[in-house]
Amino acid sequence: MREPVILALDQGTTSCRAICFDREGQVLGLAQREFAQHYPQPGWVEHDAQEIWETQLGVAREALQRCALPAAAVAAIGITNQRETVLFWDRRTGQPLTRAIVWQCRRTAGMCERLKAAGHEAAVRERTGLVLDAYFSGTKVAWLLEHTPGLREKARRGEACAGTIDSWLIFRLTGGTVHVTDPTNASRTMLFNLHTRAWDEDLLALLEVPRRALPDVRPSSAVYGKTPADLLGARIPVAGAAGDQQAALFGQACFASGLAKNTYGTGSFLLVHTGEKPAPSRHGLLTTMAATVGETPAYALEGSIFVTGAAIQWLRDGLRLIEDSADSERHAAGVPDTGGVYFVPAFVGLGAPHWDPYARGAILGLTRGTTRAHLIRAALEAIAYQSREVVEAAEQDAGIRMAELKVDGGAARNDFLMQLQADILDRPVIRPRVTETTALGAAYLAGLAVGYWGGLEEIGRNWRVDRRFEPRMEERERNALYAGWRRAVGRAAGWAAPG
Ligand code: ADP
């Protein structure tokens, strides 16, 4: 009999991954596959939920095969997912009734403007911890109910299930028997009250969402149900779920107030654990649920930056300045500075802490001497500056000073960027050995629920440093660079505002 493992399903925006972890939190094997993105109109983004399910199941089977593991060796399945993306499906047949509207989709921007004009912004912020923005699921659910023939009646009769992707996968993994979500995913819907930790009746009424369509909210670490034996080859407990960023916070062993991680992917997401009470933000961050084990709630402040690694992707695919994202490191290190160039990658407006949907990308300070390397360096510097903005906002909101920052995500592999981040923040940046922290967090949540791990202390011991980057920039230089960034952001602000 093989040592049991935990299977983490990481359902991302562009791909599905499945990873087997052992007791030390080491990756035994993984499978990954991309799925289609649909852009039916400018600014709209959709996924086919059936395709997501089939892709996710496919990679789960493949991961087990690669590890040469029978399904019986899987002690539990944990799920982590792209957040805010939402769909409706048929409770009886389990078939999607709508496309999944993706978090990036801007189709409800107008609805959000109208809700703001009607004076609902303060209540949304106070109850949900979120800003009133099309990013979150609530207005997407309202849109689907309004635009899908017959859906509202089905939802009222309890025949249609609404859910974020965690909910959808749990439903399908349990053979259509369990309709639940976890608090971290619920807290991104704009329908969930952070204080009562329940669906908010007033917000449901405001957006005309029938309560019966929504999942029950269960802890992030709990046995929700079991897979039917014919799905993967054994009945496996589905025992944990958390949104990707909260899963990463958990996977980085940030279990206590003041501990923080920053994930550098397509965008960047800073999460700071703030303890058992929600910390309201006055500096443009979101208040959100953190994943927790047991009944005691945990909260976090979040700085959501929409475009960081995606700017490097744009240099690669849009401008063809580099062949591979990793080449950015070599080019940037080849020049002593950007020659005064700043790059504000506000391609889709700016998220935290600005929340300016009308900001647009800008490159400032160009001269005849500007080279490709300067531009590439400016794009990497922008990642570090944007992260400093949210770190400082979080410190002001939480009334703490972060001693250090744990990092993960694809772009955290860039040593030049991580050194720059330490310099711009003036504090150490620490990269763990296992950078698959999102999937690892989901594995931990599931494993804790079935007793695979004994407790937080045990999994905390799995966390090991790969490399620590110490700040070494002079204060004067740091201040001058950051002041320039602030001026550049000011120029990009409001660029595409109507009228
Ligand atoms: P996501 O999970 O958001 O899809 P990943 O964590 O896989 O993202 O990170 C991919 C992003 O990071 C891409 O936008 C890519 O351009 C960027 N990236 C990956 N490696 C590097 C690198 N070495 N230097 C800079 N950016 C990188």
If you measure from the C-alpha of residue 265 to the centroid of ligand 1, how many angstroms do you get, rounded to a whole number?
A: 5
Residue 122, burial from CB neighbour count under 10 angstroms (0-12, 13-18, 19+): exposed
Q: Are strands 180-181 and 216-217 parallel, antiparallel or unpaired?
A: parallel
- Select the more confidently predicted residue: 7 or 499: 7
Q: Calculate the alpha carbon distances from 420 to 93, 263, 366 in Å.
A: 52, 15, 22
Which residue owns the Cα nearest ligand 1 atom 18?
411
Whose tokens are 């589905």? That residue is 238
Is there a contact between 283 and 396 (Cβ–Cβ < 8 Å)? yes
If you measure from the C-alpha of residue 38 to the centroid of ligand 1, how many angstroms do you get, rounded to a whole number?
A: 21
Q: Are strands 260-264 and 405-408 parallel, antiparallel or unpaired?
A: parallel
Average pLDDT over residues 424-448: 95
Out of 11, 269, 317, 325, mutate this one to test ligand 1's pocket (max ligand atoms within 8 Å of CB): namely: 325
Q: What pLDDT, on a 0 to 100 scale, did the predictor assign at position 95?
A: 97
3-state class (DSSP) for residue 238 = strand
If you measure from the C-alpha of residue 413 to the centroid of ligand 1, how many angstroms do you get, rounded to a whole number?
A: 9
Q: What pLDDT, on a 0 to 100 scale, did the predictor assign at position 294?
A: 84
Domains and CATH numbers, the chain: 5-244 (3.30.420.40)
Atom of ligand 1 nearest to the CA of 326: 23
- The helix (run of H) or strand (run of E) holding residue 289 is strand 286-290
Atom of ligand 1 nearest to the CA of 14: 4
Q: What pLDDT, on a 0 to 100 scale, did the predictor assign at position 105?
A: 86
* pLDDT exceeds 90 at position 438: yes
Longest distance between any two alpha carbons in the chain, whole Å:
69
* The one-letter amino acid at 485: W
Is there a contact between 352 and 135 (Cβ–Cβ < 8 Å)? no
Out of 84, 102, 264, 387, mutate this one to test ligand 1's pocket (max ligand atoms within 8 Å of CB): namely: 264
Q: What pLDDT, on a 0 to 100 scale, did the predictor assign at position 487?
A: 98
Report DSSP letters for 373-427, one per residue. HHHHHHHHHHHHHHHHHHHHHHHHHHT---S-EEEESGGGG-HHHHHHHHHHHTS
Averaged pLDDT of the chain: 95
Tens of pLDDT, residue by residue over 349-393, are 899 999 888 899 999 999 999 999 999 999 999 999 999 999 999
Comparing 184-193, 205-214, 399-408, the range with the smallest average pLDDT is 399-408
CB hemisphere CA count around 477 (13 angstroms): 10
pTM, full prediction: 0.92
Tens of pLDDT, residue by residue over 174-208, are 999 999 999 999 999 999 999 999 999 999 999 99
Distance CA 41, CA 10 (A): 28
Average pLDDT over residues 2-9: 93
Whose tokens are 């349990």? That residue is 174
Tens of pLDDT, residue by residue over 229-261, are 999 999 999 999 999 999 999 999 999 988 999
